[in-house]
Amino acid sequence: MADVLPDLAELTADAHVVALPMRVRFRGITTREAVVLRGPSGWTEFSPFVEYDDAEAAAWLRGAIDFGWTEHEPAADSVPVNATVPAITPDAVAALLARYPGCSTAKVKVAEPGTTVDDDVARVAEVRRVMGPSAAVRVDANGLWSVDQAAEALERLAPFDLQYAEQPCRTVPELAALRSRTAGLGIRIAADESVRKAADPLAVARAGAADVLVVKAQPLGGVTAARAVIAEAGLPCVVSSALDTSVGLGMGAFLAAAAMSPGYAAGLGTAAMFASDVTADPLLPVGGRVPVRRATVSSDLLDRNAASPERTAWWLARLERVHTLLAAA
């Protein structure tokens, strides 16, 4: 992170609150709100989910400052990315995957409230059918299964040759119990929320509760802090997005190029989920990869996607509160 915390006036001198429409509902969201800021090193992003409290959002602001006020050299020209499949019906899978040209990995959302394991199995089966036997297919439950539910679901999903199951249960002890219980299925357990939402992001690795860590740049305090977590974890790591704009995806791409384990695709192709973005040249997958670069923000798109005055005031007040927390730390 930058050695000095910018004062609030500097931080907000070129700050824009946007509300980006999404093509499909994802994580319960149809419009993604974010603040994009311009620092001396380029555009950066502050976009903790609206339900997060200020203490949790503080890491996201550290991440924004790290990217906007620190020079990061790209370690590669591009990184491989996965397609992301929300909790859609099987008949919508092929059209959605077409938005991810060249991707040979797919992450499939499961355990969506209001759906069943039968729905999940049908969705994963269709992804496997469309992508073929050589593709890597992952599932992500966002911690919504109990150990018993996860064990049952993974037994039913095992025939589709999953690369891993991401955050099937909520807590580290539950992940450890599930990992032991399902060892014979050959499905690796990946931790996401147990890394990015934990007071100690390394606790899951120390507990032997996961085979893979999923890391996100903003929630871990930025590229610099996330690289330190990856280096200490001693486990394969996959870099993913937090439903960022292309500005935040650039932050993730720098992290993935520098620190992600080889043989995995990053979860950074999510610009394909937006109907609009903050840049005329979004970080969309091409040939199954996204470039490692900073996004150039379009003033026209900032205006077109500007949040309402009420939401803009809410976000700027939140940013001020979180900045005060960092200043007092």
- Tell me whether residue 45 is annotated as binding: no
| Given the residues 109, 196, 289, 294, the one annotated as active site | 109
Give catalytic status of residue 216 as yes or no: yes
- Tell me whether residue 73 is annotated as binding: no
- Tell me whether residue 166 is annotated as binding: yes
Q: What is the 3-state secondary structure (H, E, C) of the chain?
A: CCCCCCCHHHHCCCEEEEEEEEEEEECCEEEEEEEEEEECCEEEEECCCCCCCHHHHHHHHHHHHHHHCCCCCCCCCEEEECEEECCCCHHHHHHHHCCCCCCCEEEEECCCCCCCHHHHHHHHHHHHHHHCCCCEEEEECCCCCCHHHHHHHHHHHHHHCEEEEECCCCCHHHHHHHHHHCHHHCCEEEECHHHHCCCCCCHHHHCCCCCEEEEECCCCCCHHHHHHHHHHHCCCEEEECCCCCHHHHHHHHHHHHHHCCCCCCEECCHHHHECCCCCCCCCCCECCEEECCCCCCCHHHHHHCECCHHHHHHHHHHHHHHHHHHHHC
Give catalytic status of residue 107 as yes or no: no
| Given the residues 216, 227, 294, 323, the one annotated as active site | 216
Residues of the binding site: 140, 166, 192
Residues of the binding site for Mg(2+): 140, 166, 192
Would you name the residues annotated as active-site residues? 109, 216
